[in-house]
Amino acid sequence: MVIMTLAGPLEPSDISGPLLCREWLINDQSELYLPEHGDLPVELGCLAKVRRWPLSSLQNLHLNKEDAAREVAHLGRNALVAVTTPSNFRRPGALAALQQVAAEAKIHIVVGTLPPVEVDFETQISAVLSDLACGFPSAASTDAKNLWPGFVGEVSGLDLAQLAVAFEAQRRQGVPVLVAGAVSRGILNFPVVWRHCAFFDVPTDSPMALKELQEFGAFVGFSAGTDVAWQDYPGRRPLRTEPDFVEAVKACGVNALISSGLRFRTDLTAFGGPGLAHALDLLKHAGVSTENVWANALSFLSFPWVAPAKPEKVTRQIECHWCGTRKMEGEHFSKMGFDYCSPSCIAKHRRAEFDPTKVRSYQG
């Protein structure tokens, strides 16, 4: 069993730092921009208003590499962060940027993969399994090393089409699946391996209740943070206060996972927000041990990855023009458009057909 980080596989025992399981470290949520109160700047005199109206600031809807680097520095070395930024909010070049952040901060980052759209079911499954087995195909052509996903997700709990692909991939390869938001009862029709599933930020009005998911043996996750927004927005976390988060983790018991809930620029410590380490600090101050939460994260993200077989070496043999002996390409000799197995065959051919003393000369 390994945990597949962006840089490659790790043994769970190699990770000793804190673990966070649903972060949107680098994102571009500009499609949510709704300037009802004008384009608010994220600056000291306007922070309270931006927190009330988070979609009214275009600057608030972007997190970049520099933001991520500052935040992960608060976690310390050897931490692990599962980045689940949805594909529609993922910034170009985010994977390579995240790997650079991880390398510089000496932490581990795990990212998810999702099936392609507008292709048939089997093609979607094959694409997901290929990503998990061999790495993202785009990385292979732009970087010296592949970048690897470590789970499927995040998937909306109401998107039955993507859930069908995710759970079929899980059935075939035992891969982790991270589901977010309300959960449809339709997942009961899929081959779910519950102990390899995490359901994050499930609201109270979800068709499948949090308690029911726990009874099946799934991990359940909670995002921390203080939400004071006066406007609703897609993907809003259900827990709005710090005490709610602490009580939810306590009540969950043995199956809990945690996230800081970092999403907007106002969540960053540089802009007066709680920051990436906030969830850990809340549990520590409440006297809640994080050891069980970390063990849950290691268990959830571990799966039986097997390195793909090396491609067979393609060899080509060249036949000697003179004696017919076959030589491996690169070990043969060529002269005047002919291929030979050795210099001696070149000499024999030259003496037989190109010896000046044997060639009739014609006078013009």
Q: What is the pLDDT of residues 263-322, one digit of tens each?
A: 999 999 999 999 999 999 999 999 998 999 999 999 999 999 988 777 677 778 888 988
pLDDT at 139: 44
pLDDT at 138: 57
pLDDT at 318: 87
Contact status, residue 226 vs residue 167, Cβ threshold 8 Å:
no
3-state secondary structure of 307: coil
Contact status, residue 221 vs residue 258, Cβ threshold 8 Å:
yes
Q: Where are the beta strands (DSSP E) in the chain?
A: 2-5, 8-10, 19-23, 27-28, 62-63, 80-83, 108-113, 151-156, 177-180, 197-200, 219-223, 256-259, 302-303, 317-319, 326-328, 333-335, 338-340
pLDDT, tens digit, 9 for 90 and up, residues 56-105: 999 999 999 999 999 999 998 899 999 999 999 999 899 999 999 999 99
pLDDT at 358: 61
Compute the distance between CA of residue 54 and CA of residue 48 in angstroms, rounded to an integer: 10
pLDDT at 141: 43
pLDDT at 359: 53
Kindly state the tokens that stand for 157. 């709990």
Split at pLDDT 50, 70, 90, the class of 357 is low
Contact status, residue 198 vs residue 176, Cβ threshold 8 Å:
yes
Backbone angles phi, psi at 194, to 5 degrees: -60, -35
> All domains of the chain, ordered by start, with CATH?
2-303 (3.20.20.140), 317-353 (no CATH)
Give, to the nearest 10 degrees, the angle between helix 94-105 and helix 65-72: 30
Q: What is the mean pLDDT of the chain?
A: 91
pLDDT at 264: 97
Contact status, residue 257 vs residue 221, Cβ threshold 8 Å:
yes
3-state secondary structure of 166: helix
Kindly state the tokens that stand for 287. 């006297």
Compute the distance between CA of residue 353 and CA of residue 348 in angstroms, rounded to an integer: 9
Contact status, residue 95 vs residue 112, Cβ threshold 8 Å:
no
pLDDT, tens digit, 9 for 90 and up, residues 135-190: 997 544 444 478 999 999 999 999 999 999 999 999 999 999 999 999 999 999 99
pLDDT at 142: 45
Contact status, residue 167 vs residue 177, Cβ threshold 8 Å:
yes
Split at pLDDT 50, 70, 90, the class of 36 is confident
